[in-house]
Amino acid sequence: MPSIIILNKSTNSIFPYDQWLNTSDKELILLNAEESVADYQDKEYLKIETFKDYNNNDEVENRVLDLAKEHNIERLISVSEYDLVRAGRLRDQLCLQEGQTEKSALAFRDKTVMKRIAHEGGVAVPPFQLITSWEDINKFILEYGYPVVLKPVDGSGAEFVNFIDNEDDLSSFKTKYKQLSSNYEIEKYISGDLYHVDGMVLNGEIILCWSFRYIDGCSLRSRVIGSYMLDINDPLKHRLVEFVTHILNVLPTSEYTPFHAEVFHTPEDKLIFCEIASRIGGGRIGEMIHQSFGINPREFWVKLQGGVPIEKTFKQKPTKYSGQIMIKSKEGRCTCLPQKKAPSWVVESTIKVQLGKVYKEAKHTMDYIATFVVCGETVQQVIDRLDEVKIWFENECSWELTERNL
């Protein structure tokens, strides 16, 4: 009987594969990160196997190759950004005709590869360079000046991103990273607002593409981050869509894939490419798309990878506007949780903060303690509601410093 291998590090509440693939005539084999496997133990899978240190464990790939000797593997599903390259490599090795290849995955995962291809295709990109030595950093700064950004070529969620504004920052970076990693890049810092453009490609055609503005530039320096949709009549919305469409045409884009692109809009009214990923955007971007366009993009993506016929397509226009905020942890102990209900126009929320727990300052955009998705009839109404729910949450929670934080 044909089988599908699923590479997974998520939870069943977010990715219930057995439900979404229940119309498939293929058996499901789940290879799962140890920390989330409990969610799947009582579900309908032929096999469930777990792996420690999932992101870095070579045994995941080895096991797929072994399973291919025992089963008729027809498809391989992956949804995490950390799985995309190895999933593409495995598809190539197993000669699977469906799904993203390693070449495509690398172009959407390695920030230097994607910018090089985009630049060669006529897309405006920041000056950038792969770092191989401290001398590379010094030469780059000598040529382009401060500020610059240093970050992993395969990072996500702004993890390990370093903003270098001056010599003192560079000295601190060198002290922190005595052994320079081989997977870092340096690029010129771009002033301006940051936008993200999200959508879906099906059979080589873009069937959904919409522009969103980040709140406070998705900055690591801000405790509250988020984004909201641009108005359908906003000229910048259409410029961003056209800009990202060109990027997708230049890159080796898979026949079916979600995408999450980030683009700078400078004070000089120029658009400059930041990066792009062949996955659903992080945070609550998937839920925003669900609320505004009526289809769960996670389910859509899993079904496409699993070969399940798709009956519905995305609406081309939103039925309502949506926005999200993520409130990151701050130093201290939480002494009071929200007692009142969130406003009725909050359509989805997650409150992870725990009473009495001591937190450190967030280091990652995903180090959030609460998220909220709101909807509205206009973009301005969404913006106002995001501000209101942020104030509501901050007023409802109390914090105190502890000896650990002092």
Q: Which fold has domain 127-188?
A: Dna Ligase; domain 1 (3.30.1490)
pLDDT along the chain (406 residues), means of 10: 94 94 88 90 90 95 97 96 96 95 97 97 97 93 96 77 92 84 90 96 93 80 89 98 98 96 97 97 94 94 91 79 92 87 91 88 77 97 96 90 64
Q: State the pLDDT at residue 176.
A: 83
Q: State the pLDDT at residue 199.
A: 96
Q: State the pLDDT at residue 402.
A: 76
CATH 3.30.470.20 given to domain 193-400: yes
Q: State the pLDDT at residue 29.
A: 96
Q: HEC profile for the chain?
A: CEEEEEEECCCCCCCCHHHHCCCCCCEEEEEEEHHHHHHHCCCCCCEEEEECCHHHCCHHHHHHHHHHHHCEEEEEEECCCCCHHHHHHHHHHHCCCCCCCHHHHHHHHCHHHHHHHHHHCCCCCCCEEECCCHHHHHHHHHHHCCCEEEEECCCCCCCCCEEECCHHHHHHHHHHCCCCCCCEEEEECCCCEEEEEEEEEECCEEEEEEEEEEEHHHCCCCCEEEEEECCCCCHHHHHHHHHHHHHHHHCCCCCCEEEEEEEEECCCCCEEEEEEECCCCCCCHHHHHHHHHCCCHHHHHHHHHHCCCCCCCCCCCCCCEEEEEEEECCCEEEEECCCCCCCCCEEEEEECCCCCCEECCCCCCCCEEEEEEEEECCHHHHHHHHHHHHHHHHHHCEEECCCCCC
Q: State the pLDDT at residue 264.
A: 97
Q: State the pLDDT at residue 361.
A: 78
Q: Which CATH code fits 2-98?
A: 3.40.50.20
What would the two tokens of residue 259 be? 């995408």
Q: State the pLDDT at residue 359.
A: 86
Q: State the pLDDT at residue 219.
A: 58
Q: State the pLDDT at residue 206.
A: 94
Encode pLDDT of 79-107 as tens digits: 999 999 999 999 999 999 899 999 999 99
Task: Tell me whether the CATH fold assigned to 2-98 matches the one assigned to 127-188.
Answer: no
Q: State the pLDDT at residue 95.
A: 96
Domain ranges of the chain: 2-98, 127-188, 193-400
Q: State the pLDDT at residue 281.
A: 94
**Residue in the block written with tokens 């102990």:** 333
